[in-house]
Structure 1
Amino acid sequence: MSALQQPRQSHFTDSSGVRVHFVSWNANDVHKPGLLFAHGFLGHSHWWDFIAPSFTDRYRVFALDFSGMGESGHRTEYRADSFVHDIAAVLRAAGIAPANVVAHSFGGSRLLQACAMFPELIRQAVVLDSYYALPGDDLPIIAGRPAPRPYPDLETAIAHFRLIPGQACEPWLLEHLSRTSVRQIDAGWTWCFDPSLRDLQPVEGEAGLLGRITVPVTYVHAGLSAVVTAERASRIVAAIPNARGLVTMPGAHHHLMLDQPLALVDLLLDLLESST
């Protein structure tokens, strides 16, 4: 819990005409290699608040809000590569490229795309339990949902916060995420993401993209994931020529930074250090 007390500093940069927010914990440690964390779908940089400070001794640590999420600006249209350009823009603005990048779920799929599109910006990638469609797959259709109605007050909004997919989580972690996932508007309280993102099909599967990746990639599979099967994780790794391997956390669910935070920190430190 002490990690939540570590101060973070906000920064902004432009990504294809949209103001994108990112944060740092030790931006002035310019002598250290860079490390960027990227969150999952409809998440934000606060998902890393209880993880990121554990890396500041060795790295210059940042986390971003993808466009349309967190404190970043909203787009009139979200394209398949919009979030890839967000990653590139933040790496350039932070001055840490080529950097180590760790990304979860939706963010991990975008990180794989970034490795193919901007290999010069990424030293190595660690992908955490991310679904990626492979040749022959039918992409799952995500039904669009209506925009959420504002809640009358903060506590009511917090009470409606849910993890998707659901899993066990320490109450203090859930409390932190719920409070940082809402914002006040004229009509009340609502979530910190663009409602139009609910119509986005968040799964990508560009044919041949994984085979073009030259950046070292490690894929971490949550053994109890409700999103990615062990078979799919193995196929994703096999499709990446320069993959460093598949690592499984047997007792972790999809949001592995929530149910296995300390184990994840230890694993990431080992993975990042082993390639330096």
Structure 2
Amino acid sequence: MTSAVPSWFEWALQQPRQSHFTDASGTRIHHVSWNAGDTHKPGLLFAHGFLGHSHWWDFIAPFFTEQFRVFAFDFSGMGESGHRDEYRSDSFVRDFAAVLKAAAIAPGVIVAHSFGGSRLLQACATFPELIRHAIVLDSYYMLPGDLRPVIDRRPAPRPYPDANTGMAHFRLIPGQDCEPWLIDHLARTSLRQTEAGWTWRFDPSLRHVQPVDGDESLLSRITVPVTYVHAEMSAVVSADRANRIVAAIPNARGPVTMAQAHHHLMLDHPLALVDLLRSLLEQSS
């Protein structure tokens, strides 16, 4: 791993992004745009993983503004979106629908990672008219015979006295090697300042939410075009599971394997992911 910040990364972070808010079943959902004014272009929406936020796409999304009207969003309870009194699986599915409608990009193309990808599959079955193409990145989905994973219900950490202390405690789950300039960006954008100190940008009650879900009949009901991308070195999704997920979805493509990539594939090989997504989007246009 190198420590020098590459010029492409600096360029991506310099691209202006604008915040927007919309309502999803009574909760304010935050989404961002890089070129909302390009209304003549088709829509492209990025969705993050569990306890993440839209900043995970800051160094990926700007590469697609020439061809698309590009957005990313924060799931309810995460990032800058509002918190819910109760989180259910369909809560996050409705977040997709709210943003697609508010941004006026339905039917749109959606790229979603991990937790976001499993909720995207649910959205494909629930709101097929809103989605033109779903690209799912290394997302776990429960299949027949699976046991529901045990949730680690650790208490939320106490607020940190300053941002640097909080950043030093930032960890990827699952862990993997990552360039320090990428970790710094994610750590910094994952914190917010409160009267009590610096805390993470997610609702602590989400620690009790099941991050994986599954309805074996749901996958067979999907009619939306789906492309599944598997990270070869993933600690979350095995090659066998990736194949079984694709086999359960009618007319799904894949799994397309991203070589030498771990679960957080946008951190392992960001530019390779950009190239792969460009290829997949060209093929679906």
For residues 158-180 of structure 1, give each alpha carbon's deviation from its aligned partner in whole angstroms, at most 9, with x where no partner exists: 11011111111111111110000
Matched, 1:122 2:131: yes
For residues 226-247 of structure 1, give each alpha carbon's deviation from its aligned partner in whole angstroms, at most 9, with x where no partner exists: 0000000000000000202210
Whole-Å separation in 2 of the counterparts to 1:68 and 1:19: 10
Structure 2 counterparts to residues 48-87 of structure 1, below 5 A: 48-87=57-96
Whole-Å separation in 1 of the counterparts to 2:154 and 2:44: 34
Matched, 1:143 2:149: no
Structure 1 length-normalised TM? 0.99
- Residue in 1 aligned with 2:4? none
What SS does the corresponding residue of 1:177 show, helix, strand or coil? helix
- Residue in 2 aligned with 1:22? 31
- Residue in 2 aligned with 1:207? 216
What SS does the corresponding residue of 2:118 show, helix, strand or coil? helix
Q: Is the 8 A contact 1:145 1:199 kept in 2?
A: no
Q: Aligned letter for 1:146?
A: P
Q: Aligned letter for 1:182?
A: L
How far 1:32 sits from its partner (Å)?
0.5
Whole-Å separation in 2 of the counterparts to 1:152 and 1:244: 48
- Residue in 2 aligned with 1:152? 161
- Residue in 2 aligned with 1:184? 193
- Residue in 2 aligned with 1:249? 258
> Given the alignment, which residue of 125, 135, 143 partners 1:134?
143
Whole-Å separation in 2 of the counterparts to 1:242 and 1:62: 27
Please, which runs of 5 or more residues in structure 2 have no aligned partner? 1-8
What SS does the corresponding residue of 2:216 show, helix, strand or coil? coil
What SS does the corresponding residue of 2:89 show, helix, strand or coil? coil
Whole-Å separation in 2 of the counterparts to 1:144 and 1:159: 22
Structure 2 length-normalised TM? 0.96
Q: Aligned letter for 2:191?
A: V
- Residue in 2 aligned with 1:238? 247
Whole-Å separation in 2 of the counterparts to 1:236 and 1:142: 22
Q: Is the 8 A contact 1:105 1:130 kept in 2?
A: yes
How far 1:139 sits from its partner (Å)?
1.4
How far 1:147 sits from its partner (Å)?
1.7
Superposed structure 1 runs of 4+ greater than 4 Å apart? none
What SS does the corresponding residue of 1:31 show, helix, strand or coil? coil
- Residue in 2 aligned with 1:32? 41
How far 1:275 sits from its partner (Å)?
1.2
How far 1:133 sits from its partner (Å)?
0.2
What SS does the corresponding residue of 2:123 show, helix, strand or coil? helix
How far 1:195 sits from its partner (Å)?
0.2
Q: Aligned letter for 2:56?
A: W
Cα RMSD over matched residues?
A: 0.6
Whole-Å separation in 2 of the counterparts to 1:111 and 1:238: 17
What SS does the corresponding residue of 1:208 show, helix, strand or coil? helix
- Residue in 1 aligned with 2:117? 108
How far 1:106 sits from its partner (Å)?
0.2
Please, which runs of 5 or more residues in structure 1 have no aligned partner? none
Identity of aligned residues (%): 77
Q: How many residues align?
A: 276
Structure 2 counterparts to residues 189-200 of structure 1, below 5 A: 189-200=198-209
For residues 116-141 of structure 1, give each alpha carbon's deviation from its aligned partner in whole angstroms, at most 9, with x where no partner exists: 00000000000000000011211112
Q: Aligned letter for 1:93?
A: A
Whole-Å separation in 2 of the counterparts to 1:139 and 1:58: 40
For residues 74-121 of structure 1, give each alpha carbon's deviation from its aligned partner in whole angstroms, at most 9, with x where no partner exists: 000001110000011000000000000000000000000000000000
